[in-house]
Amino acid sequence: MGNVSIEEIVNQVLAEIEKKNGKQTVQKSSPPSKETIVFSMDKKVGVDKPRKREAIDKAQAATPARIGIGRAGTRMKTDSLLKFRIDHAAAQDAVFKDVSEDFLKEYGLPLLKTKAESMEEYLMDLDSGRRLNEESAEWIRRNCPKNRQVQIVVADGLSSTAIETNIPDLLPSLMQGLELKNITVGKPIFIKRGRVWVQDEVASLVNCDVIISLIGERPGLATAESVSAYLVYRPSEKTVEADRTVISNIHKGGTPPVEAGAYLADVLEEVLQLKVSGVKYAKARHRSDVQ
């Protein structure tokens, strides 16, 4: 793609679709921000004279995968190719575009950073996204409340689009759920170019019981808007991946963000009661259900 922006790709694709069909077949809605464009594309069966049209319709309704798009010779049809280009451009845009500072200010999220000074470094050097830079670590020491039960971290991860799309509903829902349960919460923070393991350092700085990270998932061609929640009880240098509880696929086509926030509050309450997370948490819940 080079340095071509998603807007340029989209305009090219729209022009090609209009030229091919003699009319606009992709509806462009009012953009929620200067850098975001939203498209609505209805699925259609591209197979010529399908023997079992109902089976294709059922399969398309069950998955966002490209099913029943048909082909022209050995290649996909033009419409399918153009839609593929739009989805691919959106996925790249989600990775390389930053969460806007206006968005962070609107939701009261202080901007902190890892040691990854660029997205290229973040992608090539995994450890760079797992440690805070010195300025951010010092900011947390000076400004974040200590000794709370829960600390919330928001991180762009591999999709800024996922954060800007879901956090407006996910974060308030989670905060409200924790408040109703009388669980004390530290000041939510945003970490730019953060990976999951950066939560361990944050937890050590604020001395919380449980830390939860809401992080943008790697975008695919089905969606670039999915968020995952990673939480861990009292992480230390001995913490491994099996110690983390993960709830993924949070987006409008998966678990809706409002519903996910309420569910995460329930999970955090249980983790605090059981004093374990990850595999140990799952085993403890299973024992409880059996009894």
Instruction: List the binding residues for adenosylcob(III)alamin.
Output: 196, 217
Spell out the alpha helix ranges (H) of the chain.
6-21, 53-62, 78-96, 101-106, 119-124, 134-143, 160-180, 198-206, 257-274, 278-290
Q: CB of 198 within 8 A of CB of 136?
A: no
Distance of CA 122 to the CA centre of its chain: 17
| C-alpha–C-alpha distance, residues 96 and 158, integer Å | 8
Name the residue among 103, 79, 65 with its Cα closest to residue 216: 103
| Ranges assigned E (strand) in the chain | 27-28, 39-40, 111-113, 150-155, 189-192, 210-216, 227-233, 245-250
Tell me 227's DSSP state.
E
Spell out the alpha helix ranges (H) of 181-219.
198-206
Distance linking the first and last C-alpha atoms of the chain: 57
How far is the CA of 25 from the CAs of 12, 39, 154, in angstroms?
Answer: 14, 11, 37
Q: Please list, in sequence order, all residues whose beta carbon lies within 8 angstroms of the beta carbon of residue 160, skipping any fewer than 6 positions away.
A: 94, 95, 97, 98, 99, 216
- Count how many Cα atoms sit within 13 Å of the Cα of residue 236 in the half-sphere of its side chain: 3
Phi, psi dihedral angles at 271 (to 5 degrees)? -60, -40
> Residues marked as binding?
196, 217
